[in-house]
Structure 1
Amino acid sequence: MLSPDAIEQIADELATAEQSRTVIPRITSRFPDATIEDSYAIQGIWRDKNLAAGRRLVGRKIGLTSKAMQQATGITEPDYGVMFDDTVYASGSDIPFDDFSNVRIEVELAFVLKAPLEGPDCTLDDALAAIDYAVPALEVLNSHIELEGRTIVDTISDNAAYGAMVLGDVRKRPDEIDLRWVPGVLSRNGEIEETGVAAGVLGHPATGVAWLANKFHQHDARLEAGEIILAGSFTRPMWVHRGDTVLCDYREMGTIECRFL
């Protein structure tokens, strides 16, 4: 495992990279013995620095939960990160392109909890009972570590590559819709680039919420009522460039549109 000084140093590098919109060398190229525990420790220090600076935590993101994303990244284990209030956009927003590095978009569902959720034996049914509603969401990926050769350690340290999310307007309770069959048709500048179905996320998009609750139990923590849980992509990431208009059609759950300026 890494020394406390090395963990602090990397967290500082990532904070600087976020502010300067730059990319640092892979952690695993410099510290090949770094572990997943080290990466969550790095993320935790980075998170705490942001909280101390006045940012407010509004939820968690889960990543690498679908075959599409695992094949796109070569990483087969889910991960998670934190989401702050200033990273949440409404559909129709103009998003500053320069706020992010290596900008890509993923198609997801987000869940808002009405009750706390904790492990160690949380099931899909438990997660569904704790969810207030589902809402369509696009995740904006934001990488502060070079992409080539990244491992799960690099990704987790970099807050699971989370940059922002764009939320739709249609909310559905889990008993109102079969969440497995929510589609996503993702277009860039009017041309369809990616399609998928929410069942691609662990068989049911809320399965990741249960997974996260069980993961948190290992750290004597739980998911709290009111938190937004971004459940993982059911499409491959789509690259976005300055000036692009992005539209995703979720059929009965409406559409999301945003522009990168």
Structure 2
Amino acid sequence: MEATAVREAAQRLLLAYDKGEPIAPLIESYPGAGVTDAYRIQQEQVRRWIEGGERVKGHKVGLSSAAMQQQMGVDQPDYGHLLSGMFHLEQQPIGTAGFLQPRIEPEIAFVLGGRLSGPGVTVADAIRAVDFVLPALEIVDSRIENWRISIVDTIADNASSGGVVLGSRPTTLSSVDLAAASCVLRFGDETVATGTGGAVLGSPINALVWLANTIGPLGVDLEPGHVVLPGSMTRAFDVRPGDTVVADMGELGSVKAVFASAA
């Protein structure tokens, strides 16, 4: 894609939130676009968000579980940026008006204590860099109408990033088996899904390694203090005003997201 087309596509996505209306899939307007082009579109938006006062506070790996790839109709992971304005306090009402088509998914969040600079990052490197983990709920959102996304669309849309709620109980990696960690996802009193950390590329730590080695050649490091969301332990579920969502992760603790009522 030419630079002008990249800027045009980024602007269309930015206007989707300004207008409160999702747009048609970008791949329909730019049929020749590939994954590299999609990341250029994503980076253009991140540049504009930073110019507007946002700060990069971490990254997310999306589509890292078979359940999510099947649900979204794609066959590979992707990544996006977590901006400062995306973080919401646990149990504090989250307005849904700022989202277009929000869904929620449970994840084990990494908080880094050291820098990871790929390529060449190993599992041992990643474990050494993690300070602690937290239970988390990610709010994913799509600016593409009806979630009709190709891999190009979701990457360009900042990997469908919408928001993050972090739990408050830190756990060191030495205290937990990430692959075996369990999750029960509830809406109110109803259990809607169960999952394990092993659903995420075999273990969430593998997603962290994948991320570091994918963005490293682009000149991007994972910095101390950054939050990394490695991917969902279950499929994603639609959220609506008034919903209360809890992810109970056993020895990792739990995290709750409360969505404000429509009123």
TM-score after normalising by structure 1: 0.97
**Alpha-carbon distance, 1:148 to partner:** 5.0
The reply on whether 1:238 has 2:237 as its aligned counterpart is yes
DSSP 3-state at the match of 2:41: helix
Normalized against structure 2, the TM-score is what?
0.96
The alpha carbon displacement at 1:147 in A equals 3.5
Gap regions ≥5 residues in structure 2:
none
Q: Which residue of 2 aligns with 1:189?
A: 188
Q: What amino acid maps onto 1:140 in structure 2?
A: I
Q: In the alignment, which residue of structure 1 is the partner of 2:82?
A: 83
2:134 paired residue number: 135
Q: Which runs of 5+ in 1 are unaligned?
A: none
Q: Hey, what's the Cα distance between the residues in 2 that align with 1:21 and 1:124?
A: 41
Q: Which residue of 2 aligns with 1:35?
A: 34
Give matches, 1:154-165, under 5 Å.
154-165=153-164
Q: CA deviation at 1:132?
A: 0.4
Distance in structure 1 (CA, Å) of the matches to 2:210 and 2:242: 37
Partners of 1:155 and 1:38 lie apart in 2 by 12
Per the TM alignment, residue 177 of structure 1 is displaced from its structure 2 partner at its CA by 1.2
Question: How far apart are residue 90 of structure 1 and its match?
Answer: 2.4
Matched, 1:98 2:109: no
What is the deviation of 1:163?
Answer: 0.2
Alpha carbons of 1:148 and 1:15: their partners in 2 closer, same or farther (altered >3 Å)? closer
2:246 corresponds to? 247
Aligned residue for 2:209? 210
Structure 1 stretches of 4+ with a deviation exceeding 3 A read none
More deviation, 198-207/217-226? 217-226
Distance in 2 (alpha carbons) for counterparts of 1:176 and 1:28: 44
- Give 3-state SS (helix, strand or coil) of 1:99's partner: coil
Kept in 2: contact 1:106–1:139 (CA 8 A): yes
SS of equivalent to 1:186: strand
Size of the alignment, in residue pairs? 260
Paired-residue identity, %: 37
1:6 to 2:13 alignment: no
Superposed displacement of residue 39, structure 1: 0.4
Distance 1:149 1:32 in 2: 15
Tell me how far apart the structure 1 counterparts of residues 110 and 217 of structure 2 sit (CA, whole Å): 22
Structure 1: distance between partners of 2:100 and 2:148: 17
Given the alignment of the two structures, is residue 120 of structure 1 paired with residue 124 of structure 2, yes or no?
Answer: no
Counterpart position of 2:71: 72
Q: CA deviation at 1:88?
A: 0.8
1:18 aligns with 2:17: yes
Distance in structure 2 (CA, Å) of the matches to 1:86 and 1:238: 22
Equivalence for 1:56? 55
Deviations 1:121-163 (A, max 9, x none): 1111211111001101100011111245411000000000010
